[in-house]
Amino acid sequence: MQSSDFHTIVLLAIALSLGLLIGVERGFKYRDQKEGSRIAGLRTYGLISLLGAVSAMIANQLGAFLLGVFFIGLAIALTASYVVNSTRDRASLTSLIASLLAFSFGAMVMVGYVVEAASLAVITTLLLSLKGEMHRWLWLIEKKELWAALELLIISVVILSVIPNEDMGPWQALNPYEIWWMVVLISSISFVSYFAMKFAGAKKGIMATALFAGFASSTALTLQFSRMAKQVPQASPLLAAGVLFACGTMYPRVLLVASVINPELLQPLALPTLTMAILTYLPALWFWHQGNQSVPENVAPPASPLSLWSALAFGALLTGILLLSAGLQATLGDAGVLLLAAASGVADVDPINLSLSGMSREGLSLDTAVLGIVIAAGVNGILKAGLVSGIGGKVMGMKASIPLIVASIVGLLLATYA
């Protein structure tokens, strides 16, 4: 047997297995019906997928249009069966569509899209099996939640796709794509936290959102949780814990990124950053324990799933901060490294961390690089403390801002004198 023949057999077997995968789900769902009462079962879906594969092979030899002819012929046959059985209350439009997809997956395998076909077959089977759950979710969704989902799709899928991804403006400091991405991120965290609280309860939902958003943007999460604390004050202990967990994650991430770029930074940077992390995580654990004891599980989520105006306001603030940072850099040059680090830390720690870590390999002293990185992280922590105090109210401000300020001050002292 030639290798090409063996390869063809393998592809045919894959095509057959994808049809059988869909057939297993359909057959399991209708397993209680009598034999012959179903439009399609396990064997039928396997054969339909195999038909798609064979059709693709024939079309490859005699003309691509034949694949369309086979597909249309199958669609007509299935539609006729659907029409006949619809009078007997046995028809399923979902099964008809699944059959056409099985044919398409089989054809995709033979034309080289094996991974794509397998992935789509798994997703199709999952969607078919989640019929009951999806219908229950649909009944639970309110009109305002549907509109919020559509708004989120518009600002992320539609607007984000047309915004230019290039530096522009004074000092080339503004990238519209990156600024709008922060708006999308804040809105997404708002959306996720709303539904996490609605379906998982306040305790699990808040912490799940904190873990989800902590690796993406602790600043965005701080803004959203501070807003939620104003609307749902009884959840303040858990919201404060979530903010501190997300913010505490920033410090080990800073250490990891800097050490990857310049391993010599690991030792001098470890003490201040890990100390800042500990000083943030410890109160987070305490507030989490306190919240689990005092916050009721039936706390209602915020009134709206989407905080678009808050996200837009933060985007405007970020634009001003970026202009200020670029202005300082252009005015002071390399002599203002530490001042630049402080200005950059107001917006984001990662860019200045990458910059200083790289500069430390090209002549910048390790002490200056470490101090600059810690200054950026400390200023960023103080900014978040200001957001919490200014937006979240007195209770939330006291719980979350004090640990952030203490961690920033201790980290700066250790970087300066250690």
Instruction: Show Cβ contacts of residue 43 under 8 Å, excluding neighbours closer than 6 positions.
Output: 23
Q: Residue 135 and residue 84: Cα distance in Å, rounded? A: 27
Written as one string, the DSSP assignment of 293-336 is HHS-TTPPPPS-S--HHHHHHHHHHHHHHHHHHHHHHHHHGGGG
For residue 245, give the nearest of 215, 200, 275 by alpha carbon: 215
Instruction: Show Cβ contacts of residue 152 under 8 Å, excluding neighbours closer than 6 positions.
Output: 184, 187, 188, 191, 306
Q: What is the sign, positive or negative, of the torsion defined by CA atoms of 72, 75, 81, 83?
A: negative
Q: Residue 361 and residue 332: Cα distance in Å, rounded? A: 22
pTM above 0.95, yes or no: no
Residue 275 token pair: 């100390």
pLDDT over threshold 70, residue 370: yes
Other beta carbons within 10 angstroms of residue 232's beta carbon come to: 21
Alpha-carbon separation of residue 190 from 203, 241, 300 (angstroms) = 16, 17, 14
The SS3 of residue 174 is strand
Other beta carbons within 10 angstroms of residue 361's beta carbon come to: 13
Which backbone phi and psi does 34 adopt, to 5 degrees?
Answer: -70, 150
Residue 356 token pair: 């200083």
pLDDT band at 132 (very low <50, low <70, confident <90, very high): low
pLDDT over threshold 60, residue 85: yes
- The helices-and-strands tally (H runs, E runs) of the chain is 16, 0
- Beta bridge mates, 168: 174
Instruction: Show Cβ contacts of residue 60 under 8 Å, excluding neighbours closer than 6 positions.
Output: 110, 111
Per-residue confidence (pLDDT) for residue 402, from 0 to 100 = 92
pLDDT band at 106 (very low <50, low <70, confident <90, very high): very high
Per-residue confidence (pLDDT) for residue 282, from 0 to 100 = 93
Range from 54-68, 98-112, 171-185 carrying the lowest mean pLDDT: 171-185
Average pLDDT of the segment spanning 60-82: 86
Instruction: Show Cβ contacts of residue 12 under 8 Å, excluding neighbours closer than 6 positions.
Output: 50, 53, 54, 110
Half-sphere exposure at residue 287, Cβ-oriented, CA atoms within 13 angstroms? 28
Per-residue exposure over 212-223, b if at least 16 CB sit within 10 Å of its own CB, e if not: bbbeebbbbbbb
What percent of the chain is predicted at pLDDT more than 90? 14
Summarised one tens digit per residue, pLDDT across range 227-270 is 878 877 777 888 888 889 888 888 888 888 788 888 888 999 99
Which backbone phi and psi does 256 adopt, to 5 degrees?
Answer: -65, -45
Per-residue confidence (pLDDT) for residue 216, from 0 to 100 = 61
What percent of the chain is predicted at pLDDT more than 70? 74
Instruction: Show Cβ contacts of residue 279 under 8 Å, excluding neighbours closer than 6 positions.
Output: 403, 406, 407, 410
pLDDT band at 410 (very low <50, low <70, confident <90, very high): very high
Q: Residue 372 and residue 380: Cα distance in Å, rounded? A: 12
pLDDT band at 322 (very low <50, low <70, confident <90, very high): low
pLDDT band at 409 (very low <50, low <70, confident <90, very high): very high
Question: Which of 35-49, 217-231, 323-337, 385-399 has the highest mean predicted lDDT (pLDDT)?
Answer: 385-399
Q: Residue 3 and residue 278: Cα distance in Å, rounded? A: 59
Average pLDDT of the segment spanning 370-376: 89
Range from 156-160, 161-165, 262-266, 319-323 carrying the lowest mean pLDDT: 319-323
Instruction: Show Cβ contacts of residue 32 under 8 Å, excluding neighbours closer than 6 positions.
Output: none
pLDDT band at 334 (very low <50, low <70, confident <90, very high): very low
